[in-house]
Structure 1
């Protein structure tokens, strides 16, 4: 694979995106939580919860480790797939950038396995997991822009204008 996804940015609700797959910034339990994770679980309905419970009962009895990704069906969402990834919790004393990069790379790997051509990402680890937003944006955009994939378009769906502005600055910096 020598293709790279075109990166776009938008402000909105990731659960309303009309893409082949949406990425869930999940916790390791895969059973729902706050923020993006909770919103996706609420919007997708019981089918998503049941798919996640099946994963926990079979291939992921200890949960999904940080930096990894796994797909489920999307329940009531317009997307066909939800790709769950667990981003690392930010630490001021330990560089966990490699785990954040891995989260994005693994999402693209899973997307390629599913023949996904459009994907929507949240700002993984930039919410409750405390990652400084500019650094999270730089890692996200650089990793998605440079990882070989068959995904044609990767959209970062950001929840507010300030976060959009930070991601936009990171995207301009990369293209600069």
Structure 2
């Protein structure tokens, strides 16, 4: 299982994978830094498809096209309401959204997945804790029945890389 998880420091929008899991809010407005980069490189087709969804809730995940990105799909892990102040219990929504993302991955039979560290900047969860939470959900999925061959956990800097690497070593 551990060998299926690859930690990289890379630009996630350049990854050729079946799906990228990205941060989302309940309005699917891609305003977080990495999500907005995905939208910029992927084009309006992504936001147009996002606009077609109604009534989304924290802890859900939905799949859309990846537009002009090399990835095939984007899975939007919905971790907060637009304009919301962060409260206790945000970790639960992060874990649920990641879990829901992997349910979509299983249903769609996706094999290669990339994701950045979600939750540290958007939910104010400490970097190390966000890495541990996400890694635990990845492990749960990979320990079950799956067709996933690789999960690329993509770090945007050395601090995030070290946190992800430590969480990976603790599996």
| TM-score normalized by the length of structure 1 | 0.85
Q: 2:126 matched to 1:132?
A: yes
What displacement does 1:162 show? 1.1
Residue 66 of structure 1 corresponds to 58
Residue 84 of structure 1 corresponds to 76
Deviations 1:124-166 (A, max 9, x none): 1111321111111111111101223322211111100111011
Residue 113 of structure 1 corresponds to 107
* Aligned equivalents of 1:74, 1:81: Cα separation in 2: 4
Structure 2's unaligned 5+ residue stretches are: none
Residue 156 of structure 2 corresponds to 159
More divergent stretch after superposition (31-40 vs 4-13): 4-13
* Aligned equivalents of 1:117, 1:15: Cα separation in 2: 18
Aligned partners of 1:71 and 1:110 also within 8 Å: yes
Residue 150 of structure 1 corresponds to 147
Aligned counterpart for 2:17 among listed residues 8, 12, 19:
19
Structure 1's unaligned 5+ residue stretches are: none
What displacement does 1:113 show? 1.7
Change (3 A) 1:4 1:134: closer
Aligned partners of 2:62 and 2:77 also within 8 Å: yes
Aligned partners of 1:6 and 1:145 also within 8 Å: no
Structure 1 ranges of 4+ moved more than 3 A: 88-91
* Aligned equivalents of 1:153, 1:5: Cα separation in 2: 8
Deviations 1:45-88 (A, max 9, x none): 01111111122xxxx2x3x3221100011100011111011225
Alignment of 1:21-60 (within 5 A): 21-55=19-53, 60=54
Number of matched pairs: 164
* Aligned equivalents of 1:76, 1:167: Cα separation in 2: 28
Aligned partners of 1:7 and 1:141 also within 8 Å: no
Residue 92 of structure 2 corresponds to 98
Aligned partners of 2:91 and 2:125 also within 8 Å: no
What displacement does 1:24 show? 1.5
